[in-house]
Amino acid sequence: MALAAKADMRCRFGSAQHPFQPLLPAATTALRETGKLTIVAIGSSTTAGSGASAEDKSYPAVLQDELRRRLPNAEVSVVNKGVGGQSAYEMLLRMDTDVIEQKPSIVIWQTVVNDAISHVGEDKLAKILRKGIQKVQAAGIDMVMMDLPWLPREGRYPRYEDYRAVLKKTADEHGASVFPRYGMMRDWSRSKRFTPEELVGMDGVHMVDAGYRCLAIRIADGIAGALTGAKPDLVEGPKSTN
């Protein structure tokens, strides 16, 4: 356990610059009144676990384990509703059945990367995200949006930053928390604590086991902190914001 904990500390490199401090009023109330924390992770290949060596290495599976460790008196369940290759619109179509019917107190929506790659249109994307966020919030569920991944060769997608901005702006307009994945992954890459192969697979797009584990640890840090007031160790990253 000591060796595992030491290895996991590298996941927190840059956490001082990119903290994840979500507002989770619905989850806080649910945990206090029922002792339960149910999370639905909806998304595409990152959520489904493409690139992971096994199902239990996906980020939702590791997140469930990490939250159960941090919240030993709670009944924690993380439901994986990831479908590889899906667009934001395709996820919106299953928001009722795959998300709201599960009666979670938190939804983590990982999306937009496929829309950026296919250049679906920024205005169209904003409308889709707006509908999804509003639908979840109207059901009394806390929404967390996941930022796009940092990619070693993202220059292949010239509007990538524009689509990132759409996600952030839409989330901010509706008070949805954003998990800052892009900045985190970029700092992990610059930290020299990982080999390139530990973060992104040979295809240059999908994450692999170490990256998924770090993703889950940082999400768990933020959720547990919001629910209990626990403060994870924050680690300085590179000073440059470029």
Q: Distance between CA atoms of 99 and 138, rounded to whole angstroms? A: 13
The answer to whether the CB of 198 falls within 8 A of the CB of 161 is no
Asked if the structure places residue 241 within a domain, the reply is no
Q: Distance between CA atoms of 215 and 63, rounded to whole angstroms? A: 8
The pTM of this model reads 0.91
Asked if the structure places residue 4 within a domain, the reply is no
Domain around 158 = 18-227
Asked if the structure places residue 127 within a domain, the reply is yes
CATH (domain of 213):
3.40.50.1110
Asked if the structure places residue 237 within a domain, the reply is no
Domain count, the chain: 1
Asked if the structure places residue 111 within a domain, the reply is yes
β-sheet bridge partners, residue 143: 107
pLDDT in tens, 88-126: 999 999 999 999 999 999 999 999 999 998 999 999 999
- DSSP-derived 3-state class of residue 136: helix
pLDDT in tens, 148-180: 998 766 667 789 999 999 999 999 999 999 999
In terms of Cα–Cα distance, which of 62, 60, 118 is closest to 86? 118
How many Å from the N-terminal Cα to the C-terminal Cα in the chain?
36
DSSP code, position 125: H
Asked if the structure places residue 235 within a domain, the reply is no
The tokens for 140 are: 């009394």
